[in-house]
């Protein structure tokens, strides 16, 4: 039997019957507990990396926003051990890993300069986690045979730095380790829609998502190029249009959250 076919059959036998919050069915070759373990391991490695230093005050600011957003998540997501960490890196970037691990670079705070704009970024990244996008990408790589080494790397076999970086990229932290792997349009749209609704439910102004992406598009780094974040999060013009159209529809949700006492005050 050709390897590709046997892999496909194995995939069918092993795949979890998962669906996204809006009902799209997914082929997943990794379980939630495996994914969570991978995310937590990767996060510990990042924190231990001596090229990055962690920033406690900025971490507690990000943690405050994460806590407000996570309170609105359904189970099992709400019950994860959510943890936010700020890294002293000038490149504007953020990610959320399976297992509830959120990273922001301090350079992002120049663009996400209000709690609502930062909530827009973090809400989007949490959307990738809730939709199991990392699991889908790892599964796609395994089916395409290019990611078998990635799974091996996670299992501790034959784990070259390149393979660990590939795994990080598949989980959405690729810009952090220099391996750019853009999310697909569908994944981006799902994370945008979910994140903007989540921020409104938590009492963050959903219009700030538009401001954030406009600022991201306008930002130019010290090397005269746009933020790397835009390479892994493509089509800023299209998403600004969609987020602008959705914002008015989310205002009642936002106002109801505020009226119910959900008034995050993160600083």
Rule CB under 5 A: say whether 197 interacts with Zn ion: no
CA 35 remoteness from chain centre: 13
Q: Please, which of residues 198-237 interact with Zn ion by CB under 5 A?
A: 233
Residue 124 C-beta: closest distance to Zn ion, Å: 6
Q: Please, which of residues 145-184 interact with Zn ion by CB under 5 A?
A: 183
DSSP state letters, 167-208: HHHHHT-HHHHT---PPPHHHHHHHHHHHHHHHHHTT--TTH
Active site residue 125: yes
If the CB atoms of residues 153 and 171 are measured against Zn ion, the closer one turns out to be 171
Residue 194 C-beta: closest distance to Zn ion, Å: 10
If the CB atoms of residues 46 and 191 are measured against Zn ion, the closer one turns out to be 191
Catalytic residue among 72, 83, 125, 190: 125
The whole-angstrom separation of Cα 47 and Cα 88 is: 11
**What are 66's two structure tokens?**
């994460």
**What are 2's two structure tokens?**
């050709």
Using CB under 5 A, pick the residue from 29, 46, 150, 191 that binds Zn ion. 191
> How many residues line the site for Zn ion (CB under 5 A)?
3
Residue 170 C-beta: closest distance to Zn ion, Å: 13
145, 151, 156, 160: CA torsion to nearest 10: 50
In which element (H, E) is residue 83 found? strand 83-87
If the CB atoms of residues 43 and 183 are measured against Zn ion, the closer one turns out to be 183
State the angle between helix axes of 32-48 and 133-143 in degrees (0 to 180), rounded to the nearest 10: 100
If the CB atoms of residues 123 and 264 are measured against Zn ion, the closer one turns out to be 123
Q: For residues 96 and 61, is the Cβ–Cβ distance under 8 A?
A: no
Residue 138 C-beta: closest distance to Zn ion, Å: 16
Q: Which residues bind Zn ion (CB under 5 A)?
A: 183, 191, 233
């Amino acid at each position: 039997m050709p390897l590709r076919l046997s892999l496909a059959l194995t995939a069918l036998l092993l795949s979890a019957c998962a669906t996204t919050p809006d009902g799209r069915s997914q082929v997943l070759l990794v379980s939630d507990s495996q994914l969570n373990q991978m995310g937590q391991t990767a996060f510990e490695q990042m924190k231990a990396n001596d090229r990055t230093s962690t920033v406690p005050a900025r971490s507690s600011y990000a943690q405050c926003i994460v806590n407000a957003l996570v309170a609105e998540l359904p189970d099992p997501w709400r019950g994860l051990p959510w943890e936010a960490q700020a890294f002293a890196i000038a490149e504007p970037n953020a990610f959320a890993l399976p297992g509830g691990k959120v990273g922001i670079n301090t350079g992002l705070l120049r663009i996400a300069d209000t709690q609502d704009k930062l909530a827009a970024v973090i809400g989007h990244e949490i959307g990738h986690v809730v939709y199991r996008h990392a699991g889908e990408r790892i599964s796609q790589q395994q089916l395409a045979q290019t990611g078998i080494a990635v799974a091996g790397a996670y299992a501790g076999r034959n784990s070259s730095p390149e393979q660990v970086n590939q795994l990080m990229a598949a989980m959405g932290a690729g810009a952090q380790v220099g391996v750019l792997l853009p999310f697909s349009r569908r994944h981006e749209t799902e994370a945008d829609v979910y994140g903007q609704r989540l921020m409104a439910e938590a009492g963050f102004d959903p219009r700030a998502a538009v401001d954030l992406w406009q600022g991201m598009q306008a930002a130019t780094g010290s090397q005269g190029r746009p933020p790397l974040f835009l390479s892994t999060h493509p089509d800023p013009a299209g998403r600004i249009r969609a987020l602008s159209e959705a914002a008015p529809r989310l205002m009642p949700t936002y106002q109801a959250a505020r009226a119910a006492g959900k008034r995050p005050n993160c600083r």
